[in-house]
Chains A and B, each alone.
Chain A
Amino acid sequence: DTEVTQTPKHLVMGMTNKKSLKCEQHMGHRAMYWYKQKAKKPPELMFVYSYEKLSINESVPSRFSPECPNSSLLNLHLHALQPEDSALYLCASSQPSGYEQYFGPGTRLTVT
């Protein structure tokens, strides 16, 4: 099973809302990633968790808060987002340090 699942598929939220994105994998991978992708652009790395510890934060605003409760789950908590945060949010997983990354289908987020 090489599947990474993400929920929800679509999310519309107001600028004062709090919501969460969820990502799950059962491949035994110990590295998990959040990417943001705007239309017609490549994915941009946001966060990397390695062995359930945050190892990379690409200077992401604090209105995005990642959480890795266990080795299979990755959450992204959203609060007080701006319309420019509307994008496709992709989760990926791999073994740490340079192994093949597997991506989920993404969550399409619209901030109104």
Chain B
Amino acid sequence: KQEVTQIPAALSVPEGENLVLNCSFTDSAIYNLQWFRQDPGKGLTSLLLIQSSQREQTSGRLNASLDKSSGRSTLYIAASQPGDSATYLCAVFMEYGNKLVFGAGTILRVKS
């Protein structure tokens, strides 16, 4: 059974810092990995999707990497801003079972 773990569970940083969120998964039989952002009480916003054959994806101040063989992904946020405060979720789409498996999330607070 796939298990997805996100570290740290919570993170508080001053504005302007670069930061890294970590995601690990136990079963490497994945199609892709997706990073999401969720504001309190809201839906999920897709940030980046990395296919299993890719090593990284970039969008603005965000960069996500994937090492499928070791079961790890990182989300790098450059020059953090208070508006980045949210819960960040990673999820893997399994090769079998046609479904996303989510990690528990990292709660990020960026202080101004």
B-binding residues in A (CB < 8 A): 4, 6, 31, 41-43, 45, 48, 50, 55-56, 88, 90, 92, 96-98, 100-106, 108
Q: A45-B99, A90-B43 are in contact. List 15 more A-B contacts (CB 8 A).
A: A4-B43, A42-B91, A48-B98, A50-B98, A56-B97, A56-B98, A90-B44, A92-B44, A96-B98, A97-B98, A98-B32, A100-B34, A101-B34, A102-B46, A105-B42
Chain A contacts for B93, CB-based, 8 A: 98
- Residue-wise, chain B 37-53 has the 8 Å CB interface mask toward A (1 for contact) of 00001111110010000
Closest to B48 in A: A100
- Residue-wise, chain B 68-112 has the 8 Å CB interface mask toward A (1 for contact) of 000000000000000000000101010101111011110000000
Chain A contacts for B42, CB-based, 8 A: 105-106
Knowing A88-B41, A100-B49, the reply to whether A41 touches B98 (Cβ < 8 A) is no
User: How many residues in B have their beta carbons less than 8 Å from beta carbons of A?
Assistant: 23
Chain A contacts for B41, CB-based, 8 A: 88, 106, 108
Contact of B102 among A6, A31, A42, A88 (CB under 8 A): A42
Asked if A42 and B89 make an inter-chain contact with CB atoms under 8 angstroms apart, the answer reads yes
Asked if A100 and B89 make an inter-chain contact with CB atoms under 8 angstroms apart, the answer reads no
- Give the complex CA separation of A49 and B42 in angstroms: 23
